[in-house]
Amino acid sequence: MTDQHPGPPTAPGPGPTTTNAKATWSLVGGILSVTVCGVIIGVVAIIVGNQAKAEIAASGGLQTGEIRAKWGVILGWISVALSVLVAIIVGITYAGG
């Protein structure tokens, strides 16, 4: 018979992780801003995404969703840039005529 000793007790982990809701909303807003709603929702996606990134960083590993927040911000900025570009094109088109 072998002498079986249990290993040292393991420290509990940080607990269950949850996905940050603002990160999800930022991603949804970013997608909607590029496809349907435009600049206003794009700005909201940028703000909410940056808030989500700060909350996730402060959670000490208890929250996830960094990628969602990042893409929400990126898509929000794309929406803002496209809206500005369209406004410039429309302005040039109608100013010349």
pLDDT of residue 37: 83
For 27, the token pair is 């991603």
Region 87-91 average pLDDT: 94
10 found inside a domain:
no
pLDDT the model gives residue 42: 96
Residue 35, domain member (yes or no): yes
| Structural domain harbouring 31 | 18-95
Quick count: other Cβ atoms within 10 Å of Cβ 30?
A: 29
Is pLDDT larger for residue 67 or for residue 14?
A: 67
Q: What pLDDT sits at residue 63?
A: 96
Average pLDDT of the chain, as a whole number:
90
What's the domain count of the chain?
Answer: 1
Bridge partners of residue 64, in order along the sequence: 19
> Taking 70 as the threshold, does the pLDDT of residue 84 lie above it?
yes
What does the pLDDT average to over 72-85? Answer: 96
Q: Each residue of 10-41: pLDDT tens digit?
A: 655 566 789 999 999 999 999 999 999 889 99
Q: Is the pLDDT of residue 53 over 60?
A: yes
Residue 91 belongs to a domain:
yes
Range list of H helices, 1-97:
21-32, 39-58, 66-95
